[in-house]
Amino acid sequence: MNPLTNDRFAASCGVELVESRPGRATTRLAIDDRHCNAVDLVHGGAIFTLAASAFFAACNAAGKTAVGINLGITYLQPISSGELVAEAEEIARSRRLAHAEVRVVDDKGQLVAKLVGTAAIRD
């Protein structure tokens, strides 16, 4: 199952799913003008969408529906061009909750942002 198949928002933003397996996922975003803000840096919302998509894919890859209930992001350095990759990994999972961390790196491998989140697992 591709957890991003029906994510029309992520697709409209240009987010691509690279890999998805239970507890792990990787997404990619090739930056273009639509991703930049008024000062020609990648908009925080674009980075968040990329990271949240990896989080969503990792938490849903096991086959049960998981919905985000708390996500927080820290932006570590600005970026204006190139490609971003988000790698998500579940760090804990119970019957009802999944916790994951996401690292967003640029095409030089530099850490751009970190997202941590919790998802509720639905029946």
What pLDDT sits at residue 6? 79
Domain that holds residue 44: 8-121
- Is residue 116 in some structural domain? yes
Sign of the torsion formed by the C-alpha atoms of 110, 58, 36 and 32 = positive
Identify which of 79, 67, 86 has the alpha carbon closest to the alpha carbon of residue 18. Answer: 86
Give me the CATH number covering residue 88. Answer: 3.10.129.10
Per-residue pLDDT tens digits for 51-72:
999 999 999 999 999 999 999 9
In a domain, 1, yes or no: no
Q: Answer whether 31's CB lies under 8 Å from 78's CB.
A: no
Query: How many domains does the structure of the chain reveal?
Result: 1
User: What's the pLDDT tens digit per position in 67-117?
Assistant: 999 999 999 999 999 999 999 999 999 999 999 999 999 999 999 999 999
Element (H, E) at 60: helix 44-60
State the Cα–Cα distance between residues 7 and 64, nearest whole angstrom.
Answer: 16
Structure tokens at 33: 């003008």
